[in-house]
Amino acid sequence: MAYKIDFEGIHNSYNFNDEKRTLRHNTGKKITLFPYNTKFEKNRHKETIENYISVVGEFSRNLNNLAFEDLSLNEQWIDDIISHVNIDSRHKIILKGILKELFFNGDQIDLFHPKIFNYIKKDSAPNTINPNLAKFLFDTLLENYDTSLQKIIYNTYNHEPQNILATLLLKTLPPIPKFQEKEKKKKYKSCIPFISNLFCEDLNFMLNNSHFFLNSFDKLLKFYYFIYVAQLAMKLNRFLATDIAIPEPIYFNLEWESLSKSRTSYNRGWKLLAPNIHNIFSHANCLELLNHNFSNQSYTYAELRNKIYSMSQDEQSAFLDDLKKLKTKYIEHISDVNLEAFNVTQKFEDEIQNEIFELFNIIDYQFNVVRKSPYQRYALWFEEFCKTHFLKPRGSLGNTLNMSEENLIFITRLCIKDKSRLRLKLLFEEYEKRGVYFDRDSQNKIVQLFEKLNLIDKKSDSGDAQYVKAIL
């Protein structure tokens, strides 16, 4: 079936003004790739980036089909609990002290049971993206959210603890209303199936290990947020030639190792990733324009490639004409941009792919010439998250992708899962399946760490016969 561009829809959505020759970039109507806005302010939103626990709470409510209610689990809640306990007033004071000591850190309740995730406060800072970020993670990572996973989630969140006081607290939690049907609607396009599949596998494993889930749920969401956006940014810059079935190699450095400019991990780490992140707003706009079609479907570059090359030659020719017309109309409505210095070298042998590539580059060029501020602020949401959680400044080398010992142990546990051990070579393959690559120097340092932690099981002196034991 032919793919036709809806020019009237673009005209209305992008507010094309033919008289003034202006437009307004407007993403998220036909395809929504990212949860970001163009209102990032470092001084105002630094706390939002650091306040990732609010994302965990919002994601947990999405997981359990719950809406948000501002239900404070504070001292007043403890008083309400104790008022229903049939003991004399003197013992009630003692019980209150015990509950505060065991389950509270100041006026914040400890995460002693998975159900408490649902009561984490929502981030209400101005222009915050955190509620949208939780929805983004839910929509993109839980593409395969089936009934079997729903059952595991229910069992994990509703198991009764052995501690009688914990049971008392859980039974008196204020109820949270269910989502309305309109709130369940999917908003964000899931673009990388292999990451979604791995996330579901890892989440499933964690849900079956309640203590691990409680202590590391936030790490899981931080890690997959980073990996998903990093991989998507890399793949978008391959346009229609991308392969969404395999990860793009992105190299990490270990926090405790030294580094030089000659290392693969330096040249193919943050130095490689950062430029791919900078232009995600241009990709969001390019795909928004291309997705104004006469169907109810949205298409990534990879899906668009499959669609285009399933069409007849006549249909492809008509689509190429539409692309040229779209590029011309776009140029006509950015009259404040001087395109005399604009030049783009053809990247592909195929004319359709080159036309899409040129459209993207015009969009990217005009942002860099006259609209730098919204362009930069859009990407800063993710760049600042990376600086907070996954980057390490290394003097003249700048920032590098950083793997702490804590995160390495966490990811290793995800890779080994319930096995008693895993061959060392296969462990590195499991890392790479998740988009985490290490060069030879880093791999040697990892082996040294595991030996220090007594996690290496050697069957011989051969590297192929080395195993990594399960991490409890």
pLDDT averaged over 10-residue windows placed end to end, the chain, 472 residues: 93 94 94 95 84 93 87 76 80 85 81 93 86 95 83 92 88 85 80 95 94 96 98 97 95 96 96 97 97 94 95 96 97 93 88 96 95 94 96 96 97 96 96 97 96 86 76 76
Domains of the chain: 42-189 (no CATH), 404-472 (1.10.10.10)
Contacts of 111 (CB under 8 A, 6+ apart): 117, 214
Q: Could you tell me which of 108, 112, 24 has the C-alpha nearest to residue 72?
A: 108
DSSP 117-136: GGGSPPP--TT--HHHHHHH
> What single-letter DSSP state applies at residue 14?
T
Distance CA 427, CA 416 (A): 7
Q: Report the pLDDT value the prediction gives residue 420, as an integer from 0 to 100.
A: 93
Q: Could you tell me which of 234, 416, 321 has the C-alpha nearest to residue 3?
A: 321
The residues pairing with 254 across neighbouring beta strands, listed in sequence order, are 403
> Is residue 192 a contact partner of residue 228, using CB atoms and an 8 Å limit?
yes
pTM: 0.94
Q: Report the pLDDT value the prediction gives residue 461, as an integer from 0 to 100.
A: 55
Distance CA 57, CA 68 (A): 9
